[in-house]
Amino acid sequence: MIECRGVFKAFGGVVANNDISVDVPEGRITGLIGPNGSGKTTLFKSIVGHHRIVSGSIRFAGRDISKLRVQQTARLGVLRTFQKTRIYGRMNCIDNMLISVRHRKATVADMFRSYPAVVTERAEKLLEFTDLSSQRKLIAGDLSFGQQKLLEFAMALMNEPRVLLLDEPTAGINPTLINGLIDRLKRAASVFGVTLFIIEHNMPVIMNLADNVYCLASGRVLAHGTPQEIQNDERVIKAYLGGHYAVGENR
Ligand SMILES: Nc1ncnc2c1ncn2[C@@H]1O[C@H](COP(=O)(O)OP(=O)(O)OP(=O)(O)O)[C@@H](O)[C@H]1O
Ligand SMILES: [Mg+2]
């Protein structure tokens, strides 16, 4: 569904993405791991059109999207969530959901607009899906951090993404809540038919979630394979997993 070929992106002298080729198959969950600064978030930004890549190509459903901007890729159904959660902290949950429909273009006037029933129904349904129904009238800034992550995920689903790029969805979430989030992500993939591409530092999570995993190091693809292959790959262990995930533990 997403095909990156030879993607190259540099910031001044820093090469953040160097000849990256990645396939994200439709209906599957693909993981992206790698040390801090290895180029994961940059690749997400390259895909959604946050910045123009220097060379290479990015296709979505067979169509070249390399030169499209964020609003254009969003319209096609390619969306991402952010490493730092972005919600409207002073608005309640249901209003966050409503305003997030194409929310990059939302204006204050939107808050006073009446939304079509189909939109409010979808918002309620997604809040239920993420277990936030009873918080629907709560100010989003008062939710726990984990609930804010769930709200952000629900907000992204409002726009009916075909592909959702999630940048560290479980970061900072209490381990006891992580399983609930994993369950939601898996169900989103099956119930809503969303293809997921997920950056994670939490190895047991990505090993549990993903059908296949890419590992970046220094801006390049170091390895690609099933979770099993990746966690046993000597190069990955050396470059990354050693510090994060002792093989044999926590499987
Ligand atoms: N806007 C920018 N301007 C300059 N350098 C940047 C910019 N964005 C990223 N970089 C650099 O590109 C490299 C890759 O950064 P990126 O954010 O993609 O890493 P990451 O793999 O997401 O790391 P982390 O796991 O810490 O989130 C880093 O060296 C970073 O400093
Ligand atoms: Mg990052």
Indicate the domain borders of the chain. 1-77+161-251, 87-160
Determine the atom of ligand 1 nearest the C-alpha atom of 40.
21
Place of tokens 């309620």: 124
Spell out which residues have Cβ within 5 A of ligand 2, the ion: 41
User: C-alpha angle with apex 43: 157 to 93, nearest 5 degrees?
Assistant: 25
CA 83 to centroid of ligand 1, rounded, Å: 12
Collect the ranges in the chain with pLDDT lower than 50.
104, 245-251
Residues 33-77 have pLDDT tens digits of 999 999 999 999 999 999 999 999 999 999 999 999 999 999 999
CA distance 164 to 94: 21
For residue 45, the CA-to-ligand 2 centroid distance in Å is 10
| pTM score | 0.90
Give the residue whose CA is nearest to atom 9 of ligand 1: 42
CA 175–ligand 1 middle distance (angstroms): 26
Q: Output the pLDDT for position 117.
A: 83
pLDDT for 114 equals 73
Distance from the alpha carbon of residue 125 to the mean position of ligand 2, in angstroms: 30
Predicted pLDDT at 113:
65
3-state secondary structure the chain: CEEEEEEEEEECCEEEEEEEEEEECCCCEEEEECCCCCCHHHHHHHHHCCCCCCEEEEEECCEECCCCCHHHHHHHCEEECCCCCCCCCCCEHHHHHHHCCCHHHCCHHHHHCCCCHHHHHHHHHHHHHCCCHHHCCCEHHHCCHHHHHHHHHHHHHHCCCCEEEEECCCCCCCHHHHHHHHHHHHHHHHHCCCEEEEECCCHHHHHHHCCEEEEEECCEEEEEECHHHHHCCHHHHHHHHHHHCCCCCCC
Residue nearest to atom 4 of ligand 1 (CA): 11
- Given this model, what pLDDT does residue 249 score? 41
Classify domain 1-77+161-251 by CATH number.
Answer: 3.40.50.300
Cβ < 6 A, ligand 1 pocket? 11, 14, 16, 34, 36-42, 83
pLDDT of residue 247: 42
Which one of 4, 11, 52, 215 would you pick to mutate in the ligand 1 pocket, going by the greatest count of ligand atoms within 8 A of its CB? 11
pLDDT at 107: 59
How many angstroms is it from 219 CA to the middle of ligand 1?
Answer: 9
- Rounded distance between C-alpha atoms, residue 123 and residue 119, angstroms: 6
pLDDT number for residue 104:
47
Residue the block writes with tokens 């939107």: 110
Q: Which residues contact 47 (CB under 8 A, 6 or more apart)?
A: 2, 4, 58, 65, 73, 78, 80, 165, 197
Atom 8 (ligand 1) nearest CA: 42
Closest approach atom of ligand 1 to CA 44: 18
Which atom of ligand 1 has the smallest separation from the CA of 45? 18
Residue-level pLDDT at 116: 81
pLDDT attached to residue 68: 97
Please give the pLDDT value at position 102: 65
